[in-house]
Amino acid sequence: MAGLKYAGMDDTDSEDELPPGWEERSTKDGWVYYANHDEMKTQWEHPKTGKKKRCAGDLPYGWEQETDEKGQIIYVDHINKRTTYFDPRQAFTVEDVMVKPKRYDGNTAALEILQGRDLSDRVVVITGGNSGIGFETARSFALHGAHVVLACRNLSRASKAVNLIHQEWHKARVEAMMCDLASLRSVREFADSFKAKKLPLHILVCNAAVCTQPWSLTEDGLESTFQSCHLGHFLLVQCLQDVLCRSAPARVVVVSSESHRFTDLLDSCGKLDLALLSPPKTAYWSMQAYNRAKLCNILFSNELHRRLSPHGVTSNSVHPGNMMYTSIHRNWWLMTFLFMLVRPFTKSMISALPYPSQHTLTDLICIADTVMKTNFNLLNSFKKEFVLLLLVDP
């Protein structure tokens, strides 16, 4: 079962140990049965628990079910070049009970949702993919075969992130490219370099952000929080729009925040005031600047969906979770202290090997149901109905 690790599925000991002389098998359609070699008989029920089980989901990425010359079912692991009679899904069987199918919620792990998905035909670009939510998103996609591009402003850190993923699976298709959202020139250069690769683009995750940083202007003369969190992504999508449309069905995912509710873009007369987006130093408050940028993210995503959905490109904004412990709070000691206080009560973000399941990433998994065809303002990882269905089916 070591070959399953590359797909994010570590082998685990079964909680239902079989008595001596018994063997667990599965049928071609995934139903589990038990063979008693001492009495030469088979049965559907577990000999100890009496439960019926079945294999959940599709085969892991890289596996294929075939039939040998004797008519027996075999399983071929194309990644590790080996063949076995053991169904790899038997390590993750589920009890067969007549209950309503489980819906994903805010505690669902990204790799749990991706189990069995084959993303080898997908190309994914993730901004800020070298750390935090962006890294876990990139890792999850790469371990399931997708070609992942980390669009980052620090190539050294991005290269380390690429190496971490390669340590887990050396055949992962992941690369780093320079893209500084605080520079419109850098964004255009990234778009040109990506287009030069002649790759399609199926998923664009606008994840990178800054928060609680001191007032400063970018080289373009704009307030840095607004440009890094919103305007840079706006330009990036515009530059890659033609690639997205040619690659349809495709999807844009904009990582926003519930904090967008605590601001507005109106002046005292109730009119839209664009000056609020890039305020002077005297009118700047870092949290307000962040909240306004997140509100712009949602407005942009909604309008983008309206314009591009007829061309097969959908867009959604997502809220990944409240105060998840990432490096986004690093610029202000008070915010770092608050994040530390609430850390035991928020979803985990663990970035050290070996990797456990992560209870994160609404941006990795953007839509609640395959039947959900329309766009929603903001998908929230804490709401039962708006959670975690992968971007694999744009």
> Rounded to whole angstroms, how far apart are CA atoms 236 and 152?
13
Q: Evaluate the CA torsion angle 387, 390, 393, 394 in order and state its sign.
A: positive
DSSP symbol at 30 = S
Give the distance, in angstroms, between the CA of residue 7 and the centroid of all CA atoms in the same chain. 14
User: Quick check: 349 and 324 in contact, CB under 8 A?
Assistant: yes
Whether residue 290 lies in the annotated active site:
yes
Q: Which two tokens stand for residue 60?
A: 């892991």
Q: Say which of 6, 61, 290, 325 is annotated catalytic.
A: 290
The Cα-based distances of 271 to 156, 275, 282, 294, 350 in angstroms read 44, 11, 21, 19, 43
3-state secondary structure of 322: coil
Q: What angle do CA 216, 218, 221 make, to 5 degrees?
A: 100
What is the b/e burial string over 345-362, where b = at least 16 CB atoms within 10 angstroms of the residue's CB? eebbbebeeebeebbbbb
Q: Evaluate the CA torsion angle 2, 119, 204, 257 in order and state its sign.
A: negative
> Rounded to whole angstroms, how far apart are CA atoms 220 and 161?
29
Backbone angles phi, psi at 95, to 5 degrees: -70, 140
| Catalytic positions | 290
